Structure 1
C-alpha cells in the first residue's frame, strides 16, 4: 500500500512539473513586444547602419529569458528588387520556431519560402545583443518576418570557444 502512495505522489509530481515546464516554455516567458519594435529596420549597403523601411501591421513577441526568443511579423509595400539593391542580404538564415499561439510566424513555411526564392533574408541589426543579430525575411508579396539568431561571435561565446579580436567586447551588466 505504501509503495502505491509513493508511486502516485511521484507520478503526480512529474505530471505537474511537466505541465509547468510546458507552460513556461510556450506561454510563461513570452509577452507582446509592442514598445520594443516601433519600426522595422534593415542594414544599408552604403552606410552599414540600420535604416527604417516601410512596415505596417507589426506584431511581435519577446521574452527576457533569452535574447533569441524575439519574433515579429509585418507587411511592407517595398519591393524585393528595391530592398536587395539597398540593404544587406544574407546567404544563410534559419527561421526559429515560434510558439504555436503566435500564428503569424510559421518557421517551416518561412524556410520553404526562403529555399524556393519566394523570400529573401536581410540583416536587420548586427549585435542587437552581444552575439545576436536581428534577421528579417521578406516575401515576394510583402509579408515580413523578424527573428534573432546567434552570429559567429555569439556561437563562439556560448559554446566556450575563444572569441578572438574580431568580436566586439561583451558588456558585463
Structure 2
C-alpha cells in the first residue's frame, strides 16, 4: 500500500511540475509591450548613415520576456511602399523568423518565413546590437503587414560561446 501512495505522489508531482514548466515557458515570462508615444517602436537602419530611424506604422502589438534577449516579437502595419523601403533602408538576405507563442497570433513564423523565401516579404535590419550580440530584424509583407524579432548576430554567437572576439566585433560591455 505504501508503494502505491509513493507512486501516485511521484506521478502527481511530475504532472504538476510538467504543467508548471509548460505554463512558464509559453505564458509566464512574457509581458505585453505597449506602443510608445514617441512612435519609435519600429525602426529600420538607414543605408546612408547606418543608424536606425523610426518608420510610419499603425496597429502595433508586441511581447517580450526578461528571460531571454531573443523572445521579443512584434506585429504592425505600414503604408510605406516596397520601393521606398528598399531604396532607403538596409536589407537582410537570410532572415529566419523565430516562433512566437501560439497565443500571440499575429506573428506566424512559418507564414513569414515562406513569404521571405517567395519574395512576398522583404527583410530589413531594424537595429544592430539592440542588446549586445542581438540584432532586431523587421520583415514587411507586400500587403503592409510587418513583423519584428530579435536574432543573435555573428559577434553575439562568438561572445556567447566564450571565444575571443575578432577585431570587427565591438568589445563586449562589462556586466
Q: TM-score range with shorter-chain normalisation? A: over 0.9
Q: Find the partner of 2:50 among 33, 48, 51.
A: 48
For residue 47 of structure 2, give the secondary structure of its aligned residue in structure 1. Answer: coil
Q: In the alignment, what sits opposite 1:97?
A: 99
- Matched-pair contact (CA < 8 Å) for 2:72–2:149: yes
Q: In the alignment, what sits opposite 1:25?
A: 25
TM-score normalised by length of structure 1:
0.96
Q: Which segments of 5 or more consecutive residues in structure 1 lack a partner in the other structure?
A: none
Q: Cα–Cα, structure 1 residues 112 and 3, in superposed 2: closer, same or farther, change >3 Å?
A: same
String of CA shifts for 1:109-159, please: whole Å, max 9, x gaps: 000000100001000000000100000000001000000000001111222
Q: In the alignment, what sits opposite 1:161?
A: 163
1:75-154 matches, cutoff 5 A: 75-154=77-156
- The whole-number CA distance in structure 1 between the counterparts of 2:104 and 2:98 is 12
- The whole-number CA distance in structure 1 between the counterparts of 2:61 and 2:35 is 11
- The whole-number CA distance in structure 2 between the counterparts of 1:35 and 1:14 is 40
String of CA shifts for 1:7-45, please: whole Å, max 9, x gaps: 111111111111010110110000011156942110000
String of CA shifts for 1:19-74, please: whole Å, max 9, x gaps: 01011011000001115694211000001000111101100000011110000000
Q: In the alignment, what sits opposite 1:34?
A: 34
Q: Which segments of 5 or more consecutive residues in structure 2 lack a partner in the other structure?
A: none
- The whole-number CA distance in structure 1 between the counterparts of 2:6 and 2:168 is 56
Q: In the alignment, what sits opposite 2:74?
A: 72
Aligned residues: 173
Task: Give me the CA root mean square deviation.
Answer: 1.3
